[in-house]
Structure formats: C-alpha cells, structure tokens
Structure 1
Amino acid sequence: MDFGLPVRTPVLWASGSFEGGTGKCSLVAGHICMKHLLTTGCLGPAQRGCREFLEGVNESYLGVLSLFRGSRGGGGAQPLGSSLPLEAHVSARTPHRVTVQYFEFVFSHQWTEVPADRVGYPGPATRELLLGTRSIWKASALNEMQSSQKVTLTLSGLSLEEPRTLSGGTRDQQLLQESTEALLRVPCPTASTLNPALADIYTEHAHQVVVAKYAPSGFYIASGDVSGKLRIWDTTQKEHLLKYEYQPFAGKIKDIAWTEDSKRIAVVGEGREKFGAVFLWDSGSSVGEITGHNKVINSVDIKQSRPYRLATGSDDNCAAFFEGPPFKFKFTIGDHNRFVNCVRFSPDGNRFATASADGQIYIYDGKTGEKVCALGGDKAHDGGIYAISWSPDSTHLLSASGDKTSKIWDVNVNSVVNTFTMGSTVLDQQLGCLWQKDHLLSISLSGYINYLDKNNPSKPLRVIKGHSKSIQCLTVHKNGGKSYIYSGSHDGHINYWDSETGENDSFAGKGHTNQVSRMTVDESGQLVSCSMDDTVRYTNLTLRDYSGQGVVKMDMQPKCVAVGPGGYAVVVCIGQIVLLKDQKKCFSIDNPGYEPEVVAVHPSGDMVAVGGTDGNVRLYSILGTTLKDEGRVLEAKGPVTDVAYSHDGAFLAVCDASKVVTVFSVADGYSENNVFYGHHAKIVCLAWSPDNEHFASGGMDMMVYVWTLSDPETRVKIQGDSCFCLSSLERLSPGPEGPICASGLLFCGPLPDPQRDGGRACS
C-alpha cells in the first residue's frame, strides 16, 4: 500500500525502554503531518476513533509512536499489542511544525532494501514495517506474549510514566491491528509569551470570564466565569472543543487550581451556600470539601507534588490549609489583617506564599503549613498586593501591588532583588503577574501587559497595549508609507495599529470620555471621530496626540460622521444633521422628520446620503455652508444600518436590519443596481475595496461576506469572532484577496479567492 508520505529532513524523536519478561522493549517516536494522514487515508482500524480529533485540528501536528519488543533469543523483534492506547501528554514547547522522517531501528534480523515511501501490510508469518529512510524490517511469526510493565517515554526532556498491558498474537487481523501506530497528541502552540501576536481567543462562555488555568498536561484549560460555570476545553484543536462543563457553586469563580496529574480541580469564589469545591476533572465527583472560611474565597492553589496540600485565601482576612486527597480542612492561618488576595505554592512544593491587601507577604512550609517568614519585614509593599508568582526554581517570588510597583524577592534571604515602578497614575496599579520561564509579566489596571526587564527595572522590555472594551469603529489610513488601522472602543480609547506587524499604541493625552461611535480620516490627514460624549474631535495623525484643540461640541449626541473634500464633515446626531466646515459648525437640520442613523459623503463632495431608521436613504447636496434636501428617497429593505459610496463615486451601497445589501447606481440617477442576500442576521457595516468591484459586509451573525458587484451569487464568507457582533469594516488593499479589517472583532488577513473556494455562494 503506497502511503505517499514524503521523506524529508530529520526531526526530533523520542526513545525509551524497559526491562522485563524474556526481552527488552524499545520504542521510537516520530512526527507526521495531520493533513497528510487525512488526505492519504492512512488511518488504520485502531485510529479510526481519533478521526474526529484529526478533522478538528488545523495547524497542529501528530506524532506516530511505534513499539517493538526485541527478543534476546534470536526470535526477531515483535510489535507490542494494540492494547496500548498510548496518549502521551507532551509539553507545548515540543516543536510543532515538523515534516515526516522515518527512523532506522536495528534489530537482529534480516533487512531488505525497498523504496522509502512504501509499506506492506503483514501476512500470517511476515510483517513489514517501514523503519528507516531506506530499509524495511521483516519479522518472523509472532509468539503469544503477555507482560505488564511501566513504560517511560522521554521526549524533549519530558518523561511520562504510565502502566500499560502489552499483548501479542499470530492471526492476520491481530497483526494488522498491532502494527497500527498509536497517536501521540501534540498541543498546537497557539499562544506564546515570546511572540504575543501568536494568540487565540476562546469565546464559548456566555458570561464574563474571570480566570483560566492550564492543566499541567497542557492539553486542557479550565476557565470560570461570573455565573459560576466552569468549562474544561481542549487546547490541541483550533475549535477548542468542550470536554466538560460544571457548576461547582452559584456565583463568580475567582480562582482555579489543578493537581499535578491533571486529574483534580479546585475552584473557589463567591458562592452562596459554599465558597469552594474540589472534584475529579472527568466526572465532577467530589474529592474533598473546602471549608474554614465565612466570606468569599479569592484564591486557591495546590501543591504540585505528593503528599498533596491545598491552600486558600479569603475576604475574611484568613488563609486556610488542607490535606488530602480527599482534601480536608486542617487549620486557619490568621496572620493577615486585610483580605487575602492570592496564595501560591512554589513549583517544588516546599513552600507557599500568601499576599494580602495589607501589603504583606508571608511564606509558609509547603508540607506542614508552619510560618517561615514575612517578606520585607512589616510590609512588602506600600499598597495592597493583588498577585504573586514563583520563579521556576522556587527561589524567587514576583509580586504585583496597588502601589504601582512590582517586585522580585529572593525568598531564601528575604530581600528585594528588583523593584519595577510602572507609573504614577491610577491606571498604573499592578493587578496581576506571571513568572513564565525567562519571562516576567505584570498587568496594569489599564489592561496593559508589561514585560519586565530584570536588568533594567526602570523600563519594561515591551508593553502590550490594546483595547479592554469592545471595539466600536475603525478606519484605515496610510502614514509614512505604512497602512495604519485606527480603532475606537466602548470606553472612548483610540488605538493605532501597524497593519503589517500588529504593533499598536494609544493616542497620548486626554481624549474622548465615552464610546467612540464612528471615525474617518479627512483630506488633511486629521482623524475625525464622534463620540457619545457629545463631541467631534479632529486629531493629528502625525502627532497622535490629543492637543485639546479641534474639539467641536454637539448639541445632541452624535452617531456617525463622514468627511468630504474642502474641509467639510457631516455629522448625524439624535434628531439632527450637522454640517461642519473647517472644524466649525456652519449649518444644521433639526428634527428632519425621521431618525437619521448613518451618513456618507460622495467623493466629489457635492452630495450626502443619510440613512434612517424608517428604511429610507435621503440625498442632500452641499451648497457652500448649507445642506439642501434634494427630495430623493432611496428605499432599502429595512432600517438602514450603514451607507457607503464606492471610491470612484459610481455606486452607493446600503445595508439594513433586514439582512440585505442594496447597491444603487449613481450615474443612472441612483437606480437600483443589484441586491445582495446571504447574512442570517442584521447587517451593521459596509466597506468598499479600492478596486470598486468588490465590497464587504459584516453582520450580527458574526460573518463577513465579500461580494462581487456584478454577480450577487459570488461571495466569500469569513467567520468572524463570536465575542461581539461586527460594528465596522475597512479594506486595506484592492481585490477580493486584499486584506480586510473588521471591528467588534478586529480582523486582518488575506481573503480567499472566490474561484478557488467554489465561485458560488459559500454558506
């Protein structure tokens, strides 16, 4: 059977062995691309149960594990039985982008030269298996063999031990099954502290997520929300399939901890009848009780070595110590005089630390719970401490405080090694921290993630900035030869993003104080934004600084703004349409007889289209410093949600709440050109491609469709982010494959080719 698997450059491989029975068992492990397994149909009987797993994985890879038992008596090498359902847990640091390589494994038997890309299924007395880039091994008939041993798999420094039962047989069907390799699952490394652009989003919680923790195996994440739901979901697949869901108590989950074998979970928070629970991850069965507190429990952690210990911290100013499993309350620790915000065991399990709103950190013995010391004497910080994190070698501790500093402590000598002062404003308070291998991170109240530099405490290595509230609008503008995306959020912040690298920052100074509803860039390079703070702002995109100038106060709350040549801008407010000229109000239409929602200005600057909740678009002409109603009404299929002129001014696209996009031909007197259907919910935004042949629409169905103007049946579908409905769209370059960005979601990437993806409607 020709598998058609290419032999390429060598990759990381694993080896291990055990002694027992009449011989020595050895194993080898390699990697094989999941997509190749699917396309060539290489799954044998023992792997068919994994097909669902395979089909769900996108860019992750699978390893192939083959086990052989070498005989000392000259009987050849025997494959181990299929009763080895080996599913080795490999750390996320395992290389994931590897190609196929077969491994040469020498036994005391005859070798035969055959093509490297072929393998034969075994007969009754002969089994052929490809083991090298040039050779096939032929083994003699199998003998019945039973053995029970502990298999140790070593991969990239990671050792995993699982008891397994090994068996063999002589029948043809048994041979076929036994020769089938076990699948070795490798987590897809979708997130990275080295490159924060490698990130993923889990969107299946119905309520705000408070905490998420990796299982020590790396294959699952447990996340908890404000409703008390705990979801355990897969990290190896792009879809992040749900494994289990529990409701340990009714109320906000504030912290989660796993045992080192990834089999038990402790959850604490704001329950009504109880404040914590500890249970088996795969059944929900209780493995103890979390008691000893009379108020909300803020934090929990479990010692990552046996004998297990569990510690909690609560709003009752106490920590509690537990032994188990089953976990039972041992005693209360009352050293703090304010809320205990965080408890953490050291990785080696020898110590645990508690941090409190009283600014103190105490160190305790990890096995007995006896107090060892208080870091820094009376106070570790001048403000409350919200988080602590141990170094991998268990000798140092990182702390984050409301005094706007983070500190590194040498626990062995009870002294401060570094103090990181993050700023002087309220938003610079430090709420969280993480010591991840060589990376030290802290989180500010602003939502920024700081990469701390031990060699230069005065300045972070980098700061990851972004929006902490939903993005409501965006626009794109070229500045200095680069395309930048400008995004405005629900809390009034405006950020700018490099469309190539994803690097971003916020505007300096004090800007909008409420939701940014719409933004655009005028011909002078000014960012024009309108906000629910009843202002329209003009901001210089070279300085990216709110100077306090260029602020136009509106009489009514603005909803949308559009700009035209000659310094004109038209603002749609609640019950009002306002014309601006050179950053000043010059004309307004009060109570126009309908509720205006959106506006677009023709590229020539002489015509304005205003869409209303009554399902109509009305046309106005700009005459000097006035707006004239042209008496033209264009009918949409429902309440108008967005309007957009093509860049050449030849077409006007109108989308509505009835899930329809209608395109009007400007040259033909705004006659209806075409109607586009496809969305399954309200359409909220439009954007034209610079080629004027394609446009995109985004809706509350979390979909972006890219349409071809001349053919309503040809469209490309892009699945949006299910966190938010789409609220704004912009095109970065021409053509159906040009990058597009959307907000609500903020998405950038090349689009599929309609012809390549079937040409017709994708739904």
Structure 2
Amino acid sequence: MQLSLKRDWQTGDVYAPHDLSAAEMRKWGKKQQPTRDVFDILSINPLSLYKNFSVMSDFVSEMGRIRPARETGLRPVNQRKVAKANCPVLSMSISPAAVWAALPTTTRGQPTPLSADSKGERLAYASGKSVFLRSIDDPAVATQYTQHTAATTVARFAPSGFYVASGDASGIVRVWDSSPNGSGTTKGEYAIISGRINDIAWDGDSQRIIAVGDGKQRYGHCITADSGNTVGEISGHSAQVNAVSIRQQRPLRAATAGDDKNVVFYHGAPFKFNDIPGRGTHANFIYGVAFSPDGSRLVSVGADKKILLYDGKTGALQTELSPPADSHTGSIFAVSWSSDSRSLVTSSADRTVKIWDVEAAKVKHTWTFGDTGSVSHQQVGVVWPSGRSDGLIISLSLDGQLNYLHTSSATPTRVVSGHQKSITALTTSSTGSPSSAPTLWTGSYDGRLSAWDTATGTAEPVDGSGHTNIISGLAATPSSSATSSKHPQIFSVAWDDSLRTVDAATKTFTGASTQLSSQPKTLAATADSLVVVAQLESVLVYRDGSQEGELPLRASPSALAATGSTVAIGGADSSLRLFTVVPGRAPRQVAVVDKVSATAITALAFSPDGSLVAAGTAAGKIYVYDTTPTTKNAGDDNSNSNSNGLHLVTDRWSAHSAKVTGIAGSLDTNLFVWSLKEPGKRVKYTNAHKEGVNAVAWLDSGVFSVGADAAVKKWDVVVGGGA
C-alpha cells in the first residue's frame, strides 16, 4: 500500500483494481464503468480517485515478461489479462496503410457490372471473393469487403451512397455499410436463389432490392434491404436473368432481361408481373436493361447488337436505337445513362464504347480499343457516374483494365491496371537514388507482370511478350549493382517453363526467353546478376540467359533466397543449405542444417545485412539462424545444434496455423511482426488477405504484402526500441 502511494503515476500507466472493497468497487463503476477484471489505460492519475492500485511495472519484469503468479499475487484470470496486455505496452504495432485494389473479375461472353455512387466519387465492383470500393479520382485509395464465402459477381451502391448490396455465385446477397468512414459492417445476409447472382438493383428510397440470376426454383427475388422481407416476385422468365433495373420515381416500375430473349416489365411495390413488351424483338440473349434517371425511358441491349427503347412508365416498346451505319458489330454487354437522360453509353465485344444521342438516334462519339481481333480489349462493362461535371465515363476491358474516357480525347485519359488473379510472386527494385521511390514488381496466376510505383500506388503492365502461365518467382538485381549505364534487371520464372528478363527502367521484357528443363518453383538473384532457379529436382545457375552451373542437392528444393554471393536453399526434406555462388566458379556449399523441422521449408529470407536467415515451414513455424558457419563436431547428430553448421538464434516464432509463404505471412491469411531480442513478442494482423498471404516485402516506406485476393496492401509497422 505504501509503495503504491509513493509511486509517481504517469499519464498512460496501465493499472487494475486490486483488492478493492465493495464500496470502492461501486464508486469505481460509477466513474469509470469497467468490470471487476478489466484492465484499462487512463489519462488521469488513478490515485487521485482511489487507493490500492498496482501498475503494470509491478507485474512485468525488466525484460518485458510477465512475472510468475507467485510474485504478482494476481488471480489466474488477471494473470492472463496482464500477459495479454503486455504486447501493446512493448510498443509494437502493425496497421493497414493502403489497399491497392484488384481489378474486376471478368468472364468472356458475360457482362461485368460496374456501379458508381450518387456523387460520382467511388466505383464498386466484384473481384474474386471480395468487393472493392475504389476512389474514381485516386484509384490508389480503396476499401475491401471480404465477408462473402463464394466468388462475388456484382456490387451495387444504394442511391443514398451509404450501403452496398453485393451478390455471389452461391446466391447470397449481402447488404453492408459503405460510408467512407464506415467499417463495412454487414447489415443483412439473404439467400435469394440457389445459383449465381447476376445483377442487383435498388429502388430510389434505398429500401428495396431486386436480385436476379441463374437459380433452380426461381430466377430472382424482391426483398427489403433492412430485413429481407418479400416485397414481390420475379416471374415471366424461362431462362437465367442477366440484368435488372428499378425506376427511381413513383409509381415504381422494374424490368428484368435474360437468356430467354425477353424483357419482363413489373409494377410495384410489391413488384408483380405486368407485361413482356416487344416480345420476340430481341433475337438473342439480353445482357443489360436500365431506366433513365428521370424515369421516362427504359433501354435494353444484348447479343443481337440491338438497342431498344421503351416507355419508362408503361413499358411500351418505342423504337430501336441502332441504325446500321453506326451500330455495334459485336454483342453489347452493358449500357448506362447520362445524368440528364438525353444520352446513353454502350460497351461491346467489338472493342468499342459508343455514346448515343437518344433523341437524334445517332452515335455522338466512339472509342476503339486495341487491334482487330484483340480479345483482351473487348469492352464488357461501362458506367456513366452521376454527380460529376466532367462527363467522365469508365469502361471495363476483358483483361480487367478500367478505362477513363472523356469526349475531348480519342483515347483513354487514364488506364487503371493491376491484377485480376491471385498474386503469386513479389520483389522490389531501386535505382539507388534517394529521390526515386522503389518499384514493386508483382506476378500473378495468369502470367501477368506489373510494376507498382510505391509513391503513388499506380500499376503499369510490363510491355512485350511475357509469360502465359503462373509466375512462380521474381527477383531483382541489387540496387548496388545498378549503375547509371546499367539499370536494374528483373528476372521472372513461370509455369510455362521459361526464364525472362525485364528492364526495370523501361518496364519491358528484353531479349528472348530462356527455356527451362522442368517446371520452376522459384528463383533468386545474386549481387553478380547470377540467377539461381529452383526446379522440380534441381537448382540451376544462369547468367545472361545461359546455364552456368548447378547446385548439388540431396532432396527436391522448395525455397530460395540470396544475399550478396550467398544463396540459401530450403529442401522438401527440411534441410537448409548455404552456398557461395560467384561467376566463373563452381558453387561451394559453406553450411548445412540437415533437419530444420519435421516439415518442408516453404519460405526463406535474409536479414538486410545478411547475418541472419529465417526459414518458414509448412507447419507454420519460423526458425532463425546465424549465417556464420560453425564447426561441426564429429559424432554429434543433433540436427538443431551448432554442430550442423549454423547457430540457431530462435525457434519460438510459431504462431502461424498454416504454411508460411513469406517471412512473415501465411496461407492462414495472417501477418506477424516478430522480435529477435524478445522471441516471444509479436504483433498480429488477422485476415490480411482473403484466402491467404502469398508474399511480403519490407521497404523503408512500409511493409507490402500480396495474396490470393489479387490486391497489394501496404502496412505501417511500428517497432519499439526493444524489438
């Protein structure tokens, strides 16, 4: 008691109620309202209110560890809480800094819905099992919604802009908070159909939703957004429904269109079947319907290249807006109205986007993408954001690129690039100049290679003939080897069994690819620009595209890392070997750990100074070794002792619950920051990437991670002095 009274209490001290009387506990509850066993952090001196408190330093040793219960005198429940509170006190943290979003998921021959909020500030779209809300003016600013358990198919902003309704391939629709400062909280989850959700529409009050798709018993349903109560039914179709739209004015009207070549008109609410206007007018699948903002007209487009206009209130067919001279020559996948309801824009498989004057029934402007026959430039989605004064139109190419279009330019004023598929490889490069930001290089499941400016968060695809399959490894020449006459080089290997080189300055593939003898697993680059490639059963050394040597192994390689002229190889037999690899000489093994653990080594990383190497395993554990070889004692078979050639620094990094894919990220979706001085100390960020983290990189500007969600994420990491 006397010790507590003499203590110099400081703002932010961590304290706990200790042996308070019943009267003191009641007084405590009235002022601070914690429970008996809750620890908290105050911005006041607790001794000015109560006595008998203990600060965290009474419970924690000078090394930062929790004292034994016999010394603290705490009950077991409080002992555990002090231990849990210990980590934040030690000043380590990891927090998200930026999300560089994935591109929309597209499918050839199908429309991809895009949605803009009522202010024209954000774009919503589905990608993988996530939904991304992306700033239109600054695409590097985005938020990600990850609560779907199946592949997402559509996302639509409510007219209010505060909610988004998103659907997935399992027939589930989720309604969630989309406010800029919101947390993405799910407001409702509703099972609509037993199949893929193709489209969603909101009414003008942001209260009702119609979701349609490819169901078994029905092709859509009408519900309230807050409770999921039925407010009508979708009928009149004999095949899957591709699109839906709701008139924003009263009386409420709705329209759906599908593979049965029909547009069905509904009166509401509750919504019920009214008519099939223009039955038989469309000769093929209908991909899009949309009411004009003023509610006066309805438009439908489809695979027959026709654009049909209807009366927005009665549903009566009015005219066809597709004169032969100006019409699309391919399927029309999407349509969107201008905010004044006088024009509309369409996107097509013929690689064009057209603006139509509705009254004059003619084309006002046409943008053409790519070369003749280029499938990747088919335009599968389009949106004309309302609430903007610049007339911006955003179209979507089949390869996922978002094109910013203005009538003042014949070409896109901005093209937003990135990845559609899981990012499988990551590396960084730098010119060595303090004024130039490092570049992040990412390779994905579909063979796409992109370069990211870490200062702006923008991606640029690498030009030239690239890979055609999964990129399994990326490596860059160290910045110290890059001079004014020789830019850094990026090396990549992929499951097309090839090794390719990229000039980092021009972001272009250079020279011919080097054909490999078998499927590559990963690669690393030394300071002398030697490329070490791990294949199924061998590790080969290449220089300028030609094989220069081979590293002897006893087991199949599973991980690689390099620093200077030292190469670390992890094996499927859990062995760790260090080699010295220099030009013109045979590789020399300098150290070996015969058995790191009971499972294969899946990731390796050197410390920046090369003095330490970390090995991650398939069981989720990470081992750290000193790279200075030690003398092996004869007859000593302890696989983790100094006698194996490397000194084990720590084996306590064991919090991952799945295969370690990068130091330190894992298929368990989590990121960890570990401390060498205090091996038991760590901070964790759960669900860093939907479906798993594939690679991490630590730069001066922050930590970057990539994963199966095809997004690149930046993290702010704060490490205390004791870490």
TM-score relative to the length of structure 1:
0.70
Correspondences of 1:342-741 after superposition (within 5 Å): 342-378=288-324, 380-424=327-371, 425-437=374-386, 438=388, 439-456=392-409, 458-479=410-431, 481-522=436-477, 523=481, 525-549=488-512, 551-588=513-550, 592-603=553-564, 605=565, 607-622=566-581, 624-629=584-589, 632-637=592-597, 638-667=599-628, 669=630, 670-686=646-662, 697-719=664-686, 721-733=688-700, 738-741=701-704
Distance between the aligned counterparts of 1:341 and 1:474, measured in 2?
A: 38
Task: Tell me by how many angstroms 1:460 deviates.
Answer: 1.0
Alignment CA distance shift 1:309-1:497 (3 Å): same
CA-to-partner distance for each residue in 1:574-600, whole Å, 9 max, x for gaps? Answer: 11221223321133368x442211112
CA contact (8 A) 2:670 2:687 kept: yes
CA contact (8 A) 1:210 1:254 kept: yes
Alignment CA distance shift 1:482-1:451 (3 Å): same
Distance between the aligned counterparts of 2:366 and 2:252, measured in 1?
A: 33
Task: Tell me by how many angstroms 1:271 deviates.
Answer: 0.5
Secondary structure at the aligned position of 2:509 is classed as coil
Task: Tell me by how many angstroms 1:39 deviates.
Answer: 11
CA contact (8 A) 2:419 2:444 kept: yes
Distance between the aligned counterparts of 2:359 and 2:688, measured in 1?
A: 47
Q: Where does residue 278 of structure 1 map in the other structure?
A: 222
Task: Tell me by how many angstroms 1:628 deviates.
Answer: 4.4
CA-to-partner distance for each residue in 1:209-267, whole Å, 9 max, x for gaps? Answer: 11011122222211111111111111235431111111111000000111111221111
Q: Where does residue 110 of structure 2 map in the other structure?
A: none
Q: Where does residue 118 of structure 1 map in the other structure?
A: none
CA contact (8 A) 2:623 2:653 kept: no
Distance between the aligned counterparts of 1:529 and 1:356, measured in 2?
A: 41
Task: Tell me by how many angstroms 1:720 deviates.
Answer: 5.1
CA contact (8 A) 1:740 1:747 kept: no
Distance between the aligned counterparts of 1:722 and 1:547, measured in 2?
A: 32
Task: Tell me by how many angstroms 1:645 deviates.
Answer: 2.1
Task: Tell me by how many angstroms 1:746 deviates.
Answer: 4.8
CA contact (8 A) 2:157 2:164 kept: yes
CA-to-partner distance for each residue in 1:65-103, whole Å, 9 max, x for gaps? Answer: xxxxxxxxxxxxxxxxxxxxxxxxxx97599xxxxxxxx
Q: Where does residue 12 of structure 1 map in the other structure?
A: none
Task: Tell me by how many angstroms 1:435 deviates.
Answer: 0.6
CA contact (8 A) 2:354 2:363 kept: yes
CA-to-partner distance for each residue in 1:694-720, whole Å, 9 max, x for gaps? Answer: xx5112232222333333234343445
Distance between the aligned counterparts of 1:298 and 1:313, measured in 2?
A: 6
Task: Tell me by how many angstroms 1:625 deviates.
Answer: 4.7
Question: Is 1:198 the counterpart of 2:125 in the alignment?
Answer: no
CA-to-partner distance for each residue in 1:311-358, whole Å, 9 max, x for gaps? Answer: 111111111111122222122132110111000001111101000111
Distance between the aligned counterparts of 1:309 and 1:748, measured in 2?
A: 42
Question: Which structure is richer in relative contact order (CA contacts within 8 A, separation 6 or more)?
Answer: 2
Q: Where does residue 690 of structure 1 map in the other structure?
A: none
Secondary structure at the aligned position of 1:427 is classed as helix
Distance between the aligned counterparts of 1:219 and 1:475, measured in 2?
A: 38
CA-to-partner distance for each residue in 1:374-399, whole Å, 9 max, x for gaps? Answer: 11325731111000001111111011
CA contact (8 A) 1:301 1:345 kept: yes
Distance between the aligned counterparts of 2:670 and 2:229, measured in 1?
A: 40
Correspondences of 1:184-223 after superposition (within 5 Å): 191-223=134-166
AA of the residue aligned to 2:464: G
Task: Tell me by how many angstroms 1:722 deviates.
Answer: 3.2
Distance between the aligned counterparts of 2:539 and 2:714, measured in 1?
A: 36
Distance between the aligned counterparts of 1:583 and 1:209, measured in 2?
A: 42
CA contact (8 A) 1:529 1:537 kept: yes
Q: Where does residue 152 of structure 1 map in the other structure?
A: none
CA-to-partner distance for each residue in 1:123-169, whole Å, 9 max, x for gaps? Answer: xxxxxxxxxxxxxxxxxxxxxxxxxxxxxxxxxxxxxxxxxxxxxxx
Correspondences of 1:77-92 after superposition (within 5 Å): none
Alignment CA distance shift 1:453-1:39 (3 Å): farther
Distance between the aligned counterparts of 2:704 and 2:594, measured in 1?
A: 28
- What stretches of structure 1 of length at least 5 have no aligned partner? 1-37, 42-57, 60-90, 96-188, 687-695
Stretch moving more, 746-755 or 521-530? 746-755
Secondary structure at the aligned position of 1:509 is classed as coil
Distance between the aligned counterparts of 2:687 and 2:413, measured in 1?
A: 32
AA of the residue aligned to 1:702: T
RMSD: 2.7
Distance between the aligned counterparts of 1:353 and 1:221, measured in 2?
A: 24
Correspondences of 1:161-172 after superposition (within 5 Å): none
Distance between the aligned counterparts of 1:556 and 1:617, measured in 2?
A: 22
CA contact (8 A) 1:579 1:626 kept: no
Distance between the aligned counterparts of 1:278 and 1:290, measured in 2?
A: 7
Distance between the aligned counterparts of 1:636 and 1:715, measured in 2?
A: 22
Task: Tell me by how many angstroms 1:539 deviates.
Answer: 1.6
AA of the residue aligned to 2:271: F
Stretch moving more, 507-516 or 472-481? 472-481
AA of the residue aligned to 1:445: L
Distance between the aligned counterparts of 1:198 and 1:301, measured in 2?
A: 29
Alignment CA distance shift 1:500-1:586 (3 Å): same
Distance between the aligned counterparts of 2:353 and 2:594, measured in 1?
A: 60
Secondary structure at the aligned position of 2:473 is classed as strand
Distance between the aligned counterparts of 1:631 and 1:325, measured in 2?
A: 76
AA of the residue aligned to 2:605: A
- What stretches of structure 2 of length at least 5 have no aligned partner? 1-40, 45-95, 98-116, 122-131, 483-487, 631-645
CA contact (8 A) 2:706 2:713 kept: no
Secondary structure at the aligned position of 1:387 is classed as strand
CA contact (8 A) 2:287 2:303 kept: yes
- What is the aligned residue count? 564
Identity of aligned residues (%): 34
- Aligned to 1:300, which of 222, 244, 253? 244
CA contact (8 A) 2:133 2:144 kept: no
AA of the residue aligned to 1:573: Q
Task: Tell me by how many angstroms 1:447 deviates.
Answer: 0.4
AA of the residue aligned to 1:675: D
TM-score relative to the length of structure 2:
0.74
Distance between the aligned counterparts of 1:531 and 1:303, measured in 2?
A: 49
Stretch moving more, 401-410 or 520-529? 520-529
Q: Where does residue 323 of structure 1 map in the other structure?
A: 267
Secondary structure at the aligned position of 2:333 is classed as strand
Question: Is 1:290 the counterpart of 2:246 in the alignment?
Answer: no
AA of the residue aligned to 1:483: P
Alignment CA distance shift 1:94-1:729 (3 Å): closer
Q: Where does residue 754 of structure 1 map in the other structure?
A: 719
Q: Where does residue 69 of structure 2 map in the other structure?
A: none
